[in-house]
Amino acid sequence: MKMETARDVIRTFLTDSLDAPDLGESEDIFAAGLVGSMFALQLVEFVESRFEIEIENEDLELENFNSVLGIVRLVERKRPA
């Protein structure tokens, strides 16, 4: 069985939650108006619990959360090597 990558997990979470099956990996989910602040909080909590990392306030920058690729990069940076 193929291992699910961080990219798969994040993409599935976003496409399912936002009902946006065609979401591009670098598409800006905030600019597209797909996301409210309640979902943004859920997204942060999902990333923390799913990847067992702690998101600090300093990590709450647009480029870390506004796209699948941005979140993947954040997760890779925060995960223990």
Partner 1 sequence: MLSKVGVVGAGVMGVGVAQVCAQAGHPVTLVDVGAQQLQRARKLIERQVRIDHMMGRSAGADGDPAARIRYETGLQVLEACDLVVENAPERVEVKRPIYEGLDEHCAPGCVLIANTSAIPIAKLASYTSRPAQVIGVHFMNPVPLRPTVEVVRAEKTSDEVVDFTCRFLESIGKRFVLVNDGPGFVSNRVLMLTINEAIRALEDGVADAESIDRIFCECFGHTMGPLATADLIGLDTIESTLDVLESEFGDPRFHPAARLSDTVRRGHLGRKTRRGFFDYRA
Positions in the binding site for partner 1 (CB under 8 A):
13, 30, 35-38, 40-41, 44, 46, 49-50, 57, 60-62, 65
How far apart CA 65 and CA 46 sit, in angstroms, is: 12
Contact, 48 vs 54, CB < 8 A? yes
Task: List Cα–Cα distances, 31 to 1, 21, 61, in angstroms.
Answer: 36, 17, 14
Smallest distance, Å, CB 25 to partner 1?
A: 19
Smallest distance, Å, CB 81 to partner 1?
A: 25
Smallest distance, Å, CB 52 to partner 1?
A: 14
